[in-house]
Amino acid sequence: MTVESSKDKYGAILYEPVKILERWAQYVEELYNDNRDPSSNDVCSNSDDIGVVSEMEVKNVIQKLTRNKETYWQNFFRHWVTKEYKKLIRD
């Protein structure tokens, strides 16, 4: 699969492979960057609303976590970037 164009964050179409790679890198960084205001009300402020989690519950959840596995899109992105980088090196 080859991506021939993409859009920048403002909607302009990108055709150059280097610019497309830069945009993907920017997108991923923005996706995983947490810029929320620490004073926002995302966190519950009433301790009565917070349930108690036992040590056993934590251990069970940790055991169920996948280890060293990428999501489908992480895998796709890694392979796509590698392929595009190799094409840039050849050209």
Over the stretch 79-88, which tens digit does the pLDDT of each residue have?
888 887 777 7
Distance CA 78, CA 22 (A): 14
Tokens of residue 39, six digits: 């004073």
Q: Given the structure tokens 């966190």, which residue do they identify?
A: 43
Pick the residue with more confidence: 89 or 91?
89
Pick the residue with more confidence: 57 or 36?
57
pTM reported for the whole predicted model: 0.38
Q: Are 14 and 5 in contact (CB under 8 A)?
A: yes
